[in-house]
Copies of this chain bind each other. A is one copy, B any other.
């Protein structure tokens, strides 16, 4: 069986500008995540970053990506709209997508959700405890009913997402908040998972449980079916080829063979 091809997209800003972040993730957060994924023999992960041409996602790259992992924070606005279009189209056509932490405000996540994606937050290095809410969900395979991250940024409800298909994790925070930390969606032919942890000043992506969740999520989000060629196509089915024999009746607007309005 061929490997699941993962592209880990990293904004790569804090790693270059902030000594704390660089000390924790000398090769970048994206590389740390990719390395953790590559420990799974069924996964082949590589990286792409904002500063590369086309943000590392030129035409063709996503066609060869089974699952895209996205981390962004300080430079959401710098992501070019055509790249956002490309990501959205790829998800609709069947690519899996995993959005991490501050990617809740990234352009592609907001585009795929259709909601404000707002939350409350606090950077205090407080304790986060993630509780499993969907027992035996494949994204939680091998995990206990709860696990802790001793230092994390707090994200609090209300979290402005659509009602999830499934809520897999809910977080408890030391300062008194809760948050839906792992939620799944389907968008077109693609599966989407949002996973909360991962503030850049803490070693979250070195955590074994966090790495396991992301690995599990890659397997879950991978769609073995061939990618849809045109996920937005709205084909006309002419009267002559209707599945049941019908005769055209009444007035019409469209002339034969004409495409629909977009």
Contact = CB atoms under 8 A, between A and B. Distances in A.
B136 A116 contact: no
Nearest to A189: B136
Contacts of A231: 116, 118, 135, 160
Nearest to A111: B114
Nearest to A155: B234
A251 B190 CA distance: 37
A104 to B, nearest CB: 9
Interface residues of A, number: 101
Contacts of A224: 138, 141
A175 to B, nearest CB: 4
Interface in A207-243: 223-225, 228, 231-239, 242-243
A92 to B, nearest CB: 5
Say what secondary structure dominates the interface of chain A.
loop
A136 B223 contact: yes
A188 interface: yes
Given A129-B176, A129-B243, A236 B120 contact: yes
Contacts of A171: 178
A120 B235 contact: yes
13 contacts: A77-B262, A118-B232, A118-B234, A120-B237, A124-B249, A125-B249, A126-B249, A163-B165, A165-B165, A167-B180, A199-B253, A201-B250, A202-B251
Given A92-B115, A163-B166, 10 more contacts: A21-B253, A102-B261, A118-B232, A118-B234, A120-B237, A124-B239, A135-B228, A162-B185, A176-B244, A177-B237
Interface of A: 14, 18, 20-21, 73-77, 92, 94, 102, 105, 111-126, 129, 131-136, 138, 141, 145-146, 148, 151, 154, 156-160, 162-163, 165-167, 170-178, 180, 185-190, 199-202, 223-225, 228, 231-239, 242-244, 246-254, 260-262
